[in-house]
Structure formats: C-alpha cells, structure tokens
C-alpha cells in the first residue's frame, strides 16, 4: 500500500486535486489513526499506514493542492482508550474536536497554500458499519456517499452533511461521520451549468448591517439567519453564531444587542443558535426560534427582562405569523409545519408531518416559511430542492419553484432557504447553494436571477450562501448574506 501511495505522490503537480479513498480495516493507537492493508497486525507502526504521515507526505508533494482523503474504516482502539476517554471526559463536542485537531497537527505542517479535507466514516473510538439491508453490498458510509457524490452543484461540505444525516438515521445514531477540514475554496465533485438570465430591474445595493468580517463586535455579525424589518427600517437580526438578537437602526454603523449574551446558554437572556425572529403586533413582543435550545421564546423588550418559553422540545428553524396572530412553526427534524394560537402547547399540523419524503404531502428538512394574506403557506423544502405552496386547510402542497432536483440552471434550485412573496404573488427564494436570489412568477417553469448568481463572493454583484429574504414597507428587498456576515438592501428602480 505504501508503494502505491509513493507512486501516486510521484505524479502530483502543483495545483492538482488529489483524491484518496480507502475502504478497509482501521484502528487507533496512542492517538494515531492507522489504515490496515492486511488482516494480521502485530505492530501498527511498522505494518500499517499512519494517517498523519500520509497527510504530511501529501503536503510535501506540491503547492496549491486540494487533498481529499476519504476513509471508510473503523476507528476503535481496544488496547488504548485514548479517544474513548477523551470522548467521555470532554465537556462538549468542541472540546473533543480541538483535542483531535491538536493530535493531527503534530505531524502535519501546512506551510504552503494547499487545502485538506479528511473524511472519516465514524467518530473517534468507534466502529464503521459494514453492509446492511438495501446498501447493495457496500458499507453504510460508501452507500450514502454514492447516493450524493454525483449530485450537480453540491458543495463538498454540503454533500457530507447529507451523507452524515443519512448514515445517522440508518444506524440509529450509532455511527456518525467525522470531518477535518482546512478548505478555503468551494469544491464540487460534479459541477452543473449555471444560467445567468437576470431580471429587468435595476437594484441599488447597500450594506445595512455587518459586512466587517465575522465577529462579535458591535459592527459585526457571525452567521446571521432570519431578519425582521420594522416600519422605521430598523433591522432585527438573528445573529446565529453569536447567540444573540441585534438591532441595526437605519444608517447605523453598529448594532445593539437586545437579546442574548455572546455566550450560548439556556438561562434568561441567553440563546443558542437563534435562527429566526418575528414580531407579534398584538402582544407587542418578539418571537424567537431558539434552535439550539429546542424552544420558541417570547421577548417583550425593555419592558420585561425575562423571556417566556411558549413552545418546548421543538427543532424550530423558521417562524411566521398571520394577520390573525396565529404563529406558524417550521420543524426541520419532524419535516412539518404547525400552527399555534396563544396558549397552545401542541399546535395544529398544517403541512408535512408524513415523515420525510418528496411526495406532495411530504417535506424533507423544510428550512423557511412565509404566509400570505390569504393564508397560503410557502415552504422552502430544503432537501427536495423546491418551494411548496400549501393553501389554507390543504392536505398536500403544490410545487411553485424548483422541484427538478438540485442544479444551477434557471429551472433548478440548490438548497433553497429563505422565501418571501411580494404583493403581485411573485416568489423570491434565497437559492443558497447557487449564491443567488431568484424570482419565480405564478405558474412559471423557471426563475430569473434578481441578485447574485456570479459565484460565491463579496463583491457588489455577488452573494455567499444567502439564507434569508424579506421586504420592508416600501418593498425594498433585504438579503441575509450569511457567509459574508452581512445584510444587504436592494432598492428597486425600473429601468
């Protein structure tokens, strides 16, 4: 096996993409990962391939390399419980990841501009399951990898999220893939064609919040998600990775934290990955999707410091409210949307709830919702690459955008997120995986690009992983440009 690796390394030139896939036995000893090419192993250091040494060897093969290493093997260590003890003593997953990174970095020196993406099929100290029912003779990991690797326009990181989710469900959460990455560019195993037909509207762009790199200072955001815009053009932002809600007034250079400290938690005035915020006019309060704490809370602002938990034990990723004050809650793990009235604890199912799937009465990891004045609910059906419209009291939805699989053409969407509908019934979608905002007209067969669509970036005509869209009371468009850590405003002017 080492001879084969040496032959591969001899062919590598600067700027190459190097892919190594290993499926076989594996083990860990004294904090090191070993790949086992033969059955009888007495001395791993002599007879096996040490992963750290392999990565170091790849690192020295050239400059500006993209090295992808995929390992479908066990990581158990019967003689030495280094990783098992770390897993049980670490206070949280971040501590464990830091410990792992520390071990990995001892022998790998990335002094050049090369990138690494190392994929393990299992957690440290655990086993990787072999073939199971309906895996066509492959392991759980390889079967799931084959399901997603040829999907057009799927970023490597997004692909591994889908693979991980699928494996955890199949294994009843007993196997979880693990990733170590230092990518600074996007990589696609299969790149689709991106079309660039744009709207006939001229857009005057401005940054109204953030845009100063990621951070927790008053002039910064970190992974923003949902937004609410009041009549004074102040923007309230679910600053997700900072675990807070911030308010940016019109023409302000800094934001004001109104809920949450910069440290995650579940106590009063603490949040954990807030993903959305809406305003309840009747009760003069904010409703917040406190995703990491699996709850929805009500916050009354300066008049009342204590927050009120109104829904518990829910994976709420998005909220909306209708003209009658009913709150709609999107649960991306139960693949459903429920409606709640004041005082409700259970809610009424209004969309999905038939397990995950792609039928018209099903959803798959819905990500964002919007309700119009007629009570029709619009749902960005994230993993089905479509937007669904569920009319009031309907038993199933209709596809109003996408629904043709993942892709970059104008008839496709890629991991759709935020959704909003204007007064003419046109649907605006944050097409996250394509780094663009697209608009679909009623009964349209394809969309048109309103913003972005020029690859990920932070220039005036670019977005990077947009996750939210909204209008103010003058129908100016606001975009949550998540990976640029900013909120963009586009004033619409007819050509």
Instruction: Give per-residue pLDDT as tens, 244-295.
Output: 999 999 999 999 999 987 689 998 889 999 999 999 988 889 999 999 999 9
pLDDT of residue 358: 95
Q: How many CB atoms lie within 10 A of CB 45?
A: 11
Q: Kind of pairing, strands 308-312 and 295-299?
A: antiparallel
CB 483 within 8 Å of CB 210: no
Nearest to 389 by CA among 332, 355, 356, 429: 429
DSSP codes, 467-495: EEEEE-TT--EEEEEGGGTEEEEEEEEE-
Token digits for 468?
């939210």
The residue extents of the domains of the chain are: 1-189, 204-494
Taking the C-alpha atoms of residue 70 and residue 22, their distance in angstroms, rounded to an integer, is 6
pLDDT of residue 99: 37
- Is the per-residue pLDDT at 331 higher than 60? yes
Taking the C-alpha atoms of residue 104 and residue 477, their distance in angstroms, rounded to an integer, is 45
Residue 28, beta-bridge partner list? 33
Question: Domain 204-494 is of which CATH architecture?
Answer: 6 Propeller (2.120)
Taking the C-alpha atoms of residue 276 and residue 43, their distance in angstroms, rounded to an integer, is 53
pLDDT of residue 174: 84
Lowest mean pLDDT among 27-36, 218-227, 383-392: 27-36
Q: How many CB atoms lie within 10 A of CB 170?
A: 19
Taking the C-alpha atoms of residue 381 and residue 221, their distance in angstroms, rounded to an integer, is 26
Question: Domain 1-189 is of which CATH architecture?
Answer: 3-Layer(aba) Sandwich (3.40)
Instruction: Give per-residue pLDDT as tens, 47-96.
Output: 688 888 888 888 888 877 888 998 888 877 655 443 333 333 333 444 43
Average pLDDT of the chain to the nearest whole number: 84
CB 382 within 8 Å of CB 365: yes
C-alpha separations of 301 from 126, 246, 284 in Å: 47, 12, 9
Instruction: Give per-residue pLDDT as tens, 10-47.
Output: 888 877 888 998 888 888 877 788 888 765 555 555 56
Report the alpha-carbon angle 270-276-280, nearest 5.
Answer: 90
Q: What is the pTM of this model?
A: 0.66
pLDDT of residue 27: 82
User: End-to-end alpha-carbon separation of the chain, Å?
Assistant: 64
pLDDT of residue 107: 41
CB 227 within 8 Å of CB 245: no
Lowest mean pLDDT among 108-112, 134-138, 398-402: 108-112
pLDDT of residue 463: 95
- Dihedral over alpha carbons 462, 468, 471, 476 (to 10 degrees): -10
CB 464 within 8 Å of CB 457: yes
């Amino acid at each position: 096996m080492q001879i084969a690796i040496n032959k591969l390394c001899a062919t590598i030139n600067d700027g190459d993409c190097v892919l190594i896939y290993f499926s076989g036995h594996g083990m860990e000893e004294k904090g090191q990962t070993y790949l086992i090419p033969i059955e009888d192993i007495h001395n791993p250091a002599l007879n096996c391939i040490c992963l750290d040494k392999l990565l170091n060897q790849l690192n020295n093969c050239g400059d500006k390399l993209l090295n992808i290493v995929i390992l479908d093997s066990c990581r158990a260590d019967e003689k030495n419980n280094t990783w098992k003890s770390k897993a049980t003593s670490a206070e949280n997953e971040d501590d464990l990841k830091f410990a792992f990174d520390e071990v990995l970095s001892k022998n790998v020196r990335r002094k050049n501009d090369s990138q690494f993406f190392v994929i393990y099929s299992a957690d440290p100290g655990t086993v990787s399951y072999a073939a199971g029912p309906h895996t066509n003779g492959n392991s759980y990991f390889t079967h799931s990898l084959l399901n997603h690797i040829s999907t057009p326009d799927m970023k490597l990181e997004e692909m591994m999220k889908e693979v991980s989710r699928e494996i955890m469900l199949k294994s009843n959460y007993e196997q979880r893939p693990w990733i170590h990455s230092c990518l600074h560019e996007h990589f696609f195993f299969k790149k689709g064609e991106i079309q660039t037909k744009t709207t006939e509207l001229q857009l005057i762009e401005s940054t109204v919040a953030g845009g100063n790199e990621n951070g927790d200072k008053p002039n910064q955001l970190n992974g923003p998600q949902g937004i609410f815009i009041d009549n004074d053009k102040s923007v309230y932002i679910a600053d997700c990775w900072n675990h807070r809600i911030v308010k940016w007034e019109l023409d302000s250079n800094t934001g004001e934290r109104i809920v949450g400290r910069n440290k995650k938690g579940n106590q009063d005035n603490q949040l954990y990955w807030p993903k959305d915020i809406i305003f309840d006019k009747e009760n003069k309060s904010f409703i917040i999707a406190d995703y990491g704490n699996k709850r929805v809370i009500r916050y009354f602002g300066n008049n009342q410091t204590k927050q009120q938990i109104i829904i518990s034990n829910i994976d709420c990723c998005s909220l909306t409210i209708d003209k009658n004050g009913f709150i709609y809650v999107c649960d991306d793990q139960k693949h459903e949307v429920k409606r709640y009235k004041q005082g409700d604890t259970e809610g009424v199912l209004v969309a999905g709830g038939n397990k995950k799937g792609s039928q018209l009465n099903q959803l798959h990891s819905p990500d964002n919702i919007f309700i119009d004045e007629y009570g029709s609910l619009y749902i960005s059906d994230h993993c089905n690459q479509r937007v669904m419209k569920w009319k009031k009291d309907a038993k199933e939805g209709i596809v109003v955008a996408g629904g043709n699989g993942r892709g970059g053409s104008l008839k496709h969407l890629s991991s759709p997120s935020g959704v909003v509908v204007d007064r003419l019934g046109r649907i605006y979608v944050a097409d996250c995986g394509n780094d663009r905002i697209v608009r679909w007209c009623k009964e349209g067969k394809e969309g048109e690009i309103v913003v972005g669509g020029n690859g990920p970036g932070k220039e005036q005509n670019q977005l990077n992983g947009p996750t939210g869209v909204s209008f103010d009371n003058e129908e100016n468009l606001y975009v949550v440009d998540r990976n640029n850590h900013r909120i963009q405003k586009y004033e619409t002017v007819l050509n």
